[in-house]
A and B are shown apart, each in its own frame.
Chain A
Amino acid sequence: MDPSEPNDAGSGSGAPQAGNPEAPTSTVIAQLAPLAELFAKDPLELTDAEIDTIVIAMRAKRNLWAQAEATASPRAKPRKAAEITVAPPSLDLGDLGI
């Protein structure tokens, strides 16, 4: 694939978006230029479409990871954020006046 050309990973219509539930994440990744190629390229020569490709590939990886997390056994799953996030304390500091 010529990375200088608009590609399927771009933001144009018909592009497989990582967030599109109709496009399986593994398919999205397979259609993208190999990340290694983009990371090996002089970044000053990266096109906007190639930057978009990197972003979409990273999002696709996140979707894959999230899917794997969702199907993991309960024992192996980490605690949910809501269980360990510390609630902001209610403070009335007023003017510190230091």
Chain B
Amino acid sequence: MNDPNTSTNPSAVTPRQFEPLSTWLPKNTSFSANSFGVQLAWDSTSMGALKKCPRYYHYTVMRGLRSNHESPHLTFGIGMHRALEHYDKARAAGTEHETAIRDTVKAEMIRTWGWASDHTAKNRETFIRAIVWYLDHFGESDPAVTVSINGVPAVELSFRIKSDIDTGGGFPEPILLCGHLDKIVDFGGQKWVLDRKTTGSTISTQWFDSFTPDPQFSQYAFAGAVGFEYPVAGVIVDGIQCAVGFNRFQRGFAPRPKAIIEEWYADTMYWIRLAQSFAEASHWPMNDKSCSMYGGCAFRSICAKPPSVREDFLQANFHQVQWDPMIPR
């Protein structure tokens, strides 16, 4: 038999031979235990990965592969969410602003100990600076007021919502939509989900426009409306510009009217069925129009190599951090 990796005949290449099945099976409770590769609980990260590229989805969501050279952008962004959640939680518990800032900074100084980023705008010191500046800008007298659900402040909300489709077949399993919201706020008499995004660019109306359409924000609005029974008007975006010597902040709005959410929901069900078809075929095709998008895919160098050597390069340059949307924060 020809080596499919050196053959010039495309018909000799069988996709299922590319990667050994034994490397595909990390424990992940968001996947079916009965049907291989079928994801039952979908968050916006999983869905975003699938839409970006099924092969990328296979690597990042199914196998949980992360680059050994973690992006400072990712570390910074995750850290900002974590830090501001810490502050929100403290404030919701009645802690005053100054004490909450100190507690947040202390916690993040500990959590980021050892983070060695050579990025001039996204490193440990600029990270702490961004926290302090953001909380001084929005924290103490924010007009976006956290609402309460049954008397409990609506911060750090995990949700699981049963959809109206299942996997079908002889043993149908329900499909869930799940995820986490930073908080639900009242702003100008309307309820909004509030989310924060960091960027290296100047924040403009075009930057805010990039969140509509956006599957993550649509899912947030859906969750706010269905999971928490609030008629959420959309998502408030707090933009955090990260530069070498400063941070700037802008607040924008990504509205999600009912018709938009309904369309997003219908499309999402379609995508989930498509993902199930990939799983049934045990093949997640490459979307090679996405390789250079989003600043360049982390797996581009892997996909550029012959299939026979990809596993070696994956093992040398990536590690496994399982992404499981079913695990609440």
Chain A interface residues (CB < 8 Å from chain B): 11, 35, 39, 42-44, 46, 48, 51-52, 54-55, 58-59, 61-62, 65, 78, 81, 84-89, 91, 93-96, 98
Interface size class of B (residues with CB under 8 A): 35 or more
| B113 contacts partner chain A, Cβ-Cβ < 8 Å | yes
Return chain A residues, CB-CB under 8 Å to B208.
86
Taking a contact as CB atoms under 8 Å apart, the answer to whether A52 and B102 are in contact is yes
Q: With A58-B133, A96-B258 known to touch, is A86 a contact of B252 (CB < 8 Å)?
A: yes
A22 to B54, CA, bound (A): 59
Identify the closest chain A residue to B106 (Cβ): A51
Q: Which of B103-136 contact A (CB under 8 A)?
A: 105-106, 109-110, 113, 124-125, 128-129, 132-133, 136
A11 to B192, CA, bound (A): 36
The 5 closest A-B pairs by CB, nearest first: A58-B132, A43-B109, A96-B225, A43-B110, A93-B231
Return chain B residues, CB-CB under 8 Å to A44.
110
Taking a contact as CB atoms under 8 Å apart, the answer to whether A48 and B128 are in contact is no
Chain B interface residues (CB < 8 Å from chain A): 98, 101-102, 105-106, 109-110, 113, 124-125, 128-129, 132-133, 136, 187-188, 190, 192, 202-205, 208, 222, 225-226, 231-234, 236, 245-246, 248-253, 255, 257-258, 261-262, 265
Taking a contact as CB atoms under 8 Å apart, the answer to whether B225 and A98 are in contact is yes
Taking a contact as CB atoms under 8 Å apart, the answer to whether A58 and B128 are in contact is yes
A78 to B202, CA, bound (A): 9
Taking a contact as CB atoms under 8 Å apart, the answer to whether B253 and A55 are in contact is no
Taking a contact as CB atoms under 8 Å apart, the answer to whether A88 and B250 are in contact is no
Return chain B residues, CB-CB under 8 Å to A87.
253
Q: Find B261's partner among A62, A95, A98 (CB 8 Å cutoff).
A: A98
Taking a contact as CB atoms under 8 Å apart, the answer to whether A51 and B105 are in contact is yes
